[in-house]
Amino acid sequence: MNNSYINLEVQDNGLLKVQEVYEYKFNERFNGIKRNFPKTDNQKVNNLKVYSPNAYADSTIKESKKTTNIMLIFKILI
């Protein structure tokens, strides 16, 4: 990871708005990032969005009671 930035904002209704930005440099043809967000039974993840500006990527988001998993696979086209 070359660089990272995390912005947290507590909204008036008590919800937490989070923005995470990560900068990676890959040297291989196919590379990916996996993020896991553990949670308790009463926690929820809403309005989750994954972006990969300036890169072609496939993203998968899977929810369960205990975790939210994000898989982002970057494809470098040569």
The confidence band for 12, taking pLDDT boundaries of 50, 70 and 90, is very high
CA distances from 7 to 4, 62, 78 (A): 10, 23, 34
Summarize the confidence of residues 25-50 as an average pLDDT: 77
The proportion of the chain whose per-residue pLDDT surpasses 70, expressed as a percent, equals 87
Residue 25, classed as helix, strand or coil, is coil
Print the domain residue range for 52: 3-75
- Average pLDDT along the chain: 80
User: How many folded domains does the chain comprise?
Assistant: 1
Rounded to two decimals, the pTM is 0.61
Tokens describing residue 43: 């926690």
